[in-house]
Structure 1
Amino acid sequence: MIASLLLLSASVTVDSHLPPLLPWHGQSTSLLQNEGPLTTDFELSGGLVSPNYKNTKAFVNRLVAANPTQFKVNTIAKSNAGRDIQLLVASEDGEFDAEQISLSAKPTILVQSGIHAGEIDGKDAMFMLLRDIATGKRRDILSKVNILFIPILNVDGHERSSAYNRINQRGPANMGFRTNANNLNLNRDYTKLDTPEVRGVLSTIKRFAPDLYIDVHVTDGADYQYDVTYGYNPVFSSESPSVSEALDNYFKPVIDAKLAEQGHIPGPLVFVMDKREFKKGLAGWVATPRYSNGWGDLRSLPTILVENHSLKPYKQRVLGTYVFIVGAIDALSEHQQQLANAVKKEKAFVPSELIVERSYAKEPNTLAFKGIKYKRYQSALSGQIEVKYLGEKQAYDALPIYWQKKVKTSVKVPSAFYIPAAYPKIVEKLKLHGVNVERVTTTKPIPELQVASVDSYEFDKVPFEGRFRVKASFSFSKVVNNNLVDWYKVSTQQPLGELATHLLHPQAPDSFFAWGEFNTIFQRTEYMENYALAPFARQMLKDQPALALEFDKKLRDDSVFAEDAQARLDWLYERSPFYDKAYLKYP
């Protein structure tokens, strides 16, 4: 208890640098209890503390013990540091098996907390809601939906706990760290699947087939009035536009009304173009598949990213999350069929072209926005203009917002990709994503088969998420007399064909190629000897007059080449049958 009091007193001092608060007295405070069965650590602390890993597991066990006929806890993965990642399954009829849940007539909601362990609002909100279910206060919830709940995804980062992990966040008193024990950001891992944590999430989704996926975060950035912001890829940029439209039409009105009724201010998931001049406008972000909501959008899994406002007090944020989740459950129960129809439509659609990379539009749209007054001042510390938020309301009638509407890269969707048998890890990852993969058994040549050759490439100078990513330009050429027996075939004419294209097309920024899965193709492992190449090349040019003319022309037109003996020999070697035909070829 003494340690807890010390933490609470520390929280006062570490908040003193933050902007002043607007007063808040939401109706949702009535959800709190101060005593009685299953009162949470969050409630006992007055809304300031979130329990550590050990106490979190203990509370999960107490929930299950209080309601064993409707709650069950499973371990979905183990972190690299050896901690269990738990999944609590809640079902009215005691159907806990993944197959039973996936075939249930009731929709299933998956709520995920702590992918960034300092952003832990979802854990304490769901503990309160599950407590209310267990004690009968919200017995109606499980008559509407089945619940899957991950209390802490980033369990190792959760235990790297400190009052000083997030400089722009009000509580909890001690909070976890953003990345896991290997310093990897789990919400950048949805394509490459390097972490056991995200692999556990994908395995859970594949087995349980939830109808709605909610990933709870706390945002960075500017000050504004909204305490609960949330979003999903907008219709214009979504690869599942019918799903985004269903979320707009059937979910957003229910959630927003529920939040407003309880004294919270729901807002759009946006960021700021210039953090030192708010009036320049907002950035309308479109998530790519490395993120949970971008990945969900690609596979037609309705996915909502919640970003509570970091400057609002922890108690307010947790209560807002509770209300948000109840609103999402009500909307899912009421509009299950409309959402299912949208998902079915999107899974049946096979595009001929995909946008894989976007940039911000030069011309903005506008929106009404509930901001906070600020002033700009010359900082003696930074030597530049900085911003100070004043804690007073500022309404914008038409604030500019720049959406990522500009198409930067698009690719043609092939009918299928073929993967050599030497890449079983790629096949394993595709299957974990839920992509259907077949083994090629015929020796019959594949018509119109093409191979991508790297024309130029550049590696990142520093690692990102543990990888040296690579950017490249490609040319494509037809492969004749191919025999792909024992290779793997990934058809794009399947429900997850769009996701497969993002993962396997080398021009996609979140592809396995871009993440460095095929970096060995940049290695040369066989080399020439000049004493052998010179006589062979002389005969090769004699036998191929067109090649000899090309060589002579390059000598005449390129003086640098003509004076570089090694470049001349390299040119001849590359055109000889001894040159490595797999070098710079995408497998």
Structure 2
Amino acid sequence: MKRIAFLFLLFLSLKSFGQLTPFERSNKKETAHYSEAIAYYEQLAKAFPQQAKLLTYGNTDFGKPLHLMVLSKQKVFDPVLVRKSDKRILLINNGIHPGEPEGIDASMMLARDLLKNNAIPENVVICIIPIYNIDGSHNRSGTSRANQNGPIAYGFRGNSKNYDLNRDFIKTDSKNSQAFQQIFNTWKPEIFVDTHTSNGADYQYTMTLIPTQKDKLNSILSSYLTQTLVPDLYSHMKGKGFELIPYVNSISETPESGITGFIEAPRYSTGYVALHNTIGFMPETHMLKSYDKRVESTQKLLQTYIDIIKRDAKIIGENKRKADAYTAQQNDFPLDWKLNRSVYDTIAFKGFAAKQKPSEVSGINRLYYDRDAPFTKYIKYWDKFEPSISVTKPIAYVIPKAWDKVIALLKLNNVKMHQLATDVKLSLQMYYIGEMKTSTRPYEGHYQHSAVNLNPVMQNVQFYQGDYVIYVNQASNRYIVETLEPQAVDSFFNWNFFDSILGQKEGYSSYVFEDTAAELLKKDPELKLKLAAEIQKNPDLAKSGRGQLDFIYKNSDYFEKTFMRYPIGRMQHDIKLNLK
């Protein structure tokens, strides 16, 4: 009787929710507006309250909260209870670039079909962000992506502050990023998918795929990714009529010369989630394929993830637990990577012949792809990345409480932190910033630093009650190290969080300091020898009175110790601390 009653209720739910998505109603030529998408999910949640719930998190720069549609078989919508029941969590993010909207429409149909067919797996909870860049989704046109074949109208890449949100996962200039990180670190998904559309060459595939870079990923997760998950995605999608190929990142103008893997820094969504031992994917449908096929391939890919996660739920969960335990004990961390061009695979590639013809604009020969000349060729695929910079973790980092944005982001990312209970002077390794490069033009609102050289010194540094101590013995170690080490590609330092330390605050008047400098040389023979050695090494210094004065000043107690000193200390030895 209970089953009959359930089926009857299900029938009533289906009857009350029989409408198609805006994409389907438009003959598969249009993508849903933000308001349409949210209204659709609200109706779904109302029609299927036992298995669907629409939640909101934080806020966005557009003034609206970020929505999360949760599909759960047994009405378990609490992430803590989900993890206790040993279910896997899949997080799908759509519309980070709203001009690439396939995932928006595919996810709406996916959610509906899972619910109406009572097909949500017992052991998988599916979380869907309907549209992440709400701001950009309101800025609609049919022209901002000049090379794209549909839909009729779509959103804009930048958000309301003109940030590309897929460059904002470390610096977090947008409220969107804060809300996303709240969702991610609350639900802690094992698998993450961020839906996109490609640019670039023409070829036969509708769907290309960027998995988390295998060499960057924890080795336990990487083994499962490369040996099971990716091969099965390729096999299943081929069976569904949408053969996959790695994202076509060509080394020259056309793909025949070979393609390379994509190294996603932590600024990107998949690079960010990898810091937390989550396997990420960035599917990229091909811009020139018809919009209906791009949406269909996306929906089928998302369903394939669900099927594989359902099948492998236990091993995926166990791998994540092992990876987190390993990371908590890990000592050495790569901070930057380089492609090994001597190692490559050979893969079959289905393309179109690249030819030349006179341009109707300039009359000069131009590239085009001849779709009447398809081919299958074996091309080189370079996908071996190796660490170019690594660091050994300290026992702990000590952060003055003044650096509140850093502290807020660490807390947002579930980093366990302690505070000093009293003022204390600590012997720590401190970095002095040496030579570095700084971009001459802004990138995503920042004049980024790179190629940072460091001079580490042991110093006794005063810290105060309430300053933070972060022990590097936790599952969040990669996030901790890759944001707090200045030489890391996407460190907080490289994103200009600490630029105030690069400015000297005090100086001297030469005519006054001349007498002080003379006294210093008389009282400190070591300083005198140091100056002589510097003059011998640099003969021009012998001709510069100001230069010699400056050398004495910078090697005396008068010179400020904090100039160019990175303010976060590295505890090299276990010091007994009085913590709150």
1:46 aligns with 2:27: yes
The 8 Å contact of residues 102 and 210 in structure 1, kept in 2 or not, is answered as no
1:234–1:241 CA contact under 8 A, matched in 2? no
> Structure 1: 5+ residue runs without aligned partners?
1-34
- The alignment status of 1:291 with 2:272, answered yes or no, reads no
Q: Does structure 1 conserve the Cα–Cα contact (< 8 Å) formed by 2:286 and 2:294?
A: yes
Aligned position for 2:342: 363
Pair 1:572 & 2:549 matched: no
Distance in structure 2 (CA, Å) of the matches to 1:246 and 1:407: 21
Matching residue of 2:210: 231
| Pairs within 5 Å for 1:325-336 | 325-336=302-313
Structure 2 residue corresponding to 1:220, chosen from 199, 204, 222: 199
Rounded Cα–Cα distance in structure 2 between residues aligned with 1:570 and 1:442: 37
**Take 2:119 and 2:82, find their aligned partners in 1: how far apart are those partners?**
18
Superposed, which structure 2 residues align to 1:124-523 within 5 Å?
124-134=105-115, 136=116, 138-235=117-214, 237-274=215-252, 276-349=253-326, 350-365=329-344, 366-377=346-357, 386-391=366-371, 392-397=373-378, 399-403=379-383, 405-441=385-421, 449-471=428-450, 472-480=452-460, 486-523=466-503
Deviation at 1:553, TM superposition (A): 4.3
The alpha-carbon deviation at position 390 of structure 1 amounts to 1.0
TM superposition shift of 1:423:
1.2
**Partners in 1 of 2:301 and 2:289 — Cα distance?**
16
Could you tell me the TM-score, scaled by structure 1's length?
A: 0.88
CA distance in 1, matches of 2:470, 2:363: 55
| Deviation sequence 1:192-232 (CA, Å, 0-9, x none) | 22211121111112212223211111122212222122232
> What amino acid is aligned across from residue 78 of structure 1 in structure 2?
N
Listed as ranges, the matches of 1:58-73 within 5 Å are: 58-73=39-54
Change beyond 3 A, Cα 1:577–1:585: same
Specify the code of the residue in structure 1 equivalent to 2:216. S
Per the alignment, residue 100 of structure 1 pairs with: 81
Q: What is the deviation of 1:158?
A: 0.9
In the alignment, the residues of structure 2 paired with residue 318 and residue 303 of structure 1 have an alpha-carbon distance, to the nearest angstrom, of 20
Whether the aligned pair in 2 keeps the contact of 1:227 and 1:267 (CA below 8 Å) is: no
Q: Deviations over 1:505-553 (max 9, x none)?
A: 1110101011110000011111212232111100001111222233244
Provide, for residues 22-78 of structure 1, a one-character-per-residue CA deviation record: whole Å limited to 9, x for no partner.
xxxxxxxxxxxxx98120111111211002122222222222232233222122232
Distance 1:380 1:529 in 2: 68
Matching residue's letter, 2:86: A
In structure 2, C-alpha distance between the alignment counterparts of 1:420 and 1:540, rounded to whole Å: 33
CA separation of 1:202/1:102 partners in 2, compared to 1, >3 Å: closer, same or farther? farther
User: Which digits, 9 at most, give the CA deviation of each residue in 1:322-352, with x for residues without a partner?
Assistant: 1111111111111011111211221112333
Taking a change above 3 Å as real, the CA distance of residues 72 and 537 of structure 1, as seen in their structure-2 partners, is same
Give 1:251's aligned amino acid.
Answer: L
Aligned pairs (5 A) from 1:24-39: 37-39=18-20
TM-superposed CA distance for 1:483, in Å, is 5.5
**CA contact 2:136–2:158 (8 Å) conserved in 1:** yes
| Change beyond 3 A, Cα 1:53–1:530 | same
Shift of 1:253: 4.0
Using a 3 Å threshold, how does the CA distance of structure 1 residues 233 and 492 change in structure 2: closer, same or farther? same
CA deviation after TM superposition for structure 1 residue 152, in Å: 0.4
SS of aligned partner of 2:500:
helix
CA positional deviation for 1:102: 3.6
Between the aligned partners of 1:168 and 1:403, the Cα distance in structure 2 is 27
CA contact (8 A) 1:229 1:268 kept: yes
- Cα offset for 1:115? 0.8
Question: 1:86-134 CA distances to partner (integer Å, 9 max, x unpaired)?
Answer: 1112222222233333433332211110111111111111111222234
Aligned letter for 1:360?
Answer: L
Quick check: 156-165 or 54-63, which moved more?
54-63
Give the whole-Å Cα distance in 1 for the aligned partners of 2:268 and 2:423: 39
The answer for unaligned runs of 5 or more in structure 2 is 1-15, 568-580
* Equivalent in 532, 535, 538 of residue 558 of structure 1: 538
1:543/1:249 CA distance change after superposition, 3 Å: same
Q: CA shift at 1:264, angstroms?
A: 1.2
AA of the residue aligned to 1:570: D
In 2 relative to 1, CA 36–498 (structure 1 residues): closer, same or farther, beyond 3 Å?
closer
- Report the Cα offset of residue 443 of structure 1: 6.5
- The aligned amino acid for 2:269 is S
What is the alpha-carbon root mean square deviation over aligned residues? 2.3
* Aligned-pair identity (%): 28
Alignment match of 1:584 (pick from 560, 564, 568): 564
Residue type at the aligned position of 1:191: I
Aligned-pair CA distance for 1:564: 3.6
TM-score normalised by length of structure 2? 0.89
Q: Partners in 2 of 1:568 and 1:377 — Cα distance?
A: 66
Name the structure 2 match of 1:537: 517
Shift of 1:362: 3.0
**Is residue 547 of structure 1 aligned with residue 527 of structure 2?**
yes
What are the Cα deviations for residues 291-329 of structure 1, in whole angstroms up to 9, with x where unaligned? 111122221112222111222111101111111111111
* Partner residue in 1 for 2:63: 82
Alpha-carbon distance in 1 for matches of 2:500, 2:25: 55
Change (3 A) 1:427 1:385: farther
